[in-house]
């Protein structure tokens, strides 16, 4: 079931896992210095840990490889950056099409563009 789209609850699990600074550092680490006495992790190790966490939270329904997880995160990140850019633009707002679709606030619009945007 690795090709299944992320459901909102699994995106939340992913976002919550990445909010923990050591987890974020494992996947996107900027620090290149080796700390004496500690095992050095690669980014692949970080994505492997993320895959394990998501697999556990989904009760085995998402069985991805680390590269697949990295690709999905890049897709989610692109959605986040697009929503962030839209929010910062001067033309941002609710359109008639949005209102017709039941989107009445900017928060709702940003959440539609990128689930868990506010996190």
Residue 44 in domain: yes
- pLDDT digit string, tens, across residues 84-94: 999 998 888 88
Residue 18 in domain: yes
Residue 65 in domain: yes
Q: Residue 81 has which token pair?
A: 């950056």
Residue 95 in domain: yes
Length of the chain: 119
- pLDDT digit string, tens, across residues 34-90: 666 666 667 778 888 888 888 888 787 777 888 888 888 889 889 999 999 999 988
Residue 119 in domain: no
Alpha helices in 29-65 (DSSP H): 43-57
Structural domain that includes position 25: 8-113
Total number of domains in the chain: 1
- Is 111 within 8 Å of 84 (Cβ atoms)? no
- Is 91 within 8 Å of 32 (Cβ atoms)? no
Q: Indicate the pTM of the whole model.
A: 0.73
């Amino acid at each position: 079931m690795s090709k299944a789209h992320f459901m909102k609850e699994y995106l939340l699990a992913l976002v919550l896992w990445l909010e923990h600074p050591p987890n974020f550092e494992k996947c996107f680490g900027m620090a290149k210095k080796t700390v004496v006495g500690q095992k050095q992790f690669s980014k692949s190790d970080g994505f492997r840990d993320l895959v394990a966490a998501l697999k556990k939270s989904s009760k085995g329904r998402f069985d991805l490889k680390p590269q697949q997880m990295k690709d999905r995160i890049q897709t989610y990140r692109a959605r986040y950056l697009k929503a962030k850019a839209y929010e910062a633009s001067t033309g941002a707002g609710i359109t008639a099409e949005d209102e017709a679709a039941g989107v009445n606030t900017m928060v709702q619009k940003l959440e539609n563009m990128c689930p868990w945007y506010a996190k």
